[in-house]
Amino acid sequence: MQPDDEKILRISKEIIIKFIELGRVSPGNFEENFKSVFWTLKRTVVDAQLPRLDTEEFGKTEPEET
């Protein structure tokens, strides 16, 4: 499990709780909705980190050949 996954799980739980309170999620569709919320948040976090990873990679200098 990635370090951010625990945070994403907590946020997903809070979102699903709000949906349950509003009557948009029920026991019958809980699994589908929870997975959807979790993976949407996960993709958002990963996509937000990609530009940072790309710039870190480009910031490295190539080793000089001798």
The helix (H) or strand (E) run that includes residue 62 is none
- Measured at the CA of 31, the angle between CA 48 and CA 28, to 5 degrees, comes to 145
In a domain, 63, yes or no: no
Residue 38 and residue 8 in contact, taking contact as beta carbons nearer than 8 Å:
yes
Cα(29)–Cα(26) distance, integer angstroms = 6
Q: Is 43 a domain residue?
A: yes
Q: For the whole prediction, is pTM greater than 0.75?
A: no
Q: Which two tokens stand for residue 37?
A: 């919320």
The tally of domains found in the chain comes to 1
pLDDT one-digit tens code per residue, 49-61: 877 666 655 555 5
In a domain, 59, yes or no: no
CA 8 vs. chain centroid, Å, equals: 6
Q: Is 61 within the bounds of a domain?
A: no
Using 50, 70 and 90 to split pLDDT, how confident is the model at 12? very high
| Structural domain harbouring 13 | 3-48
Residue 8, both tokens? 């994403």
Residue 62 lies in a domain: no
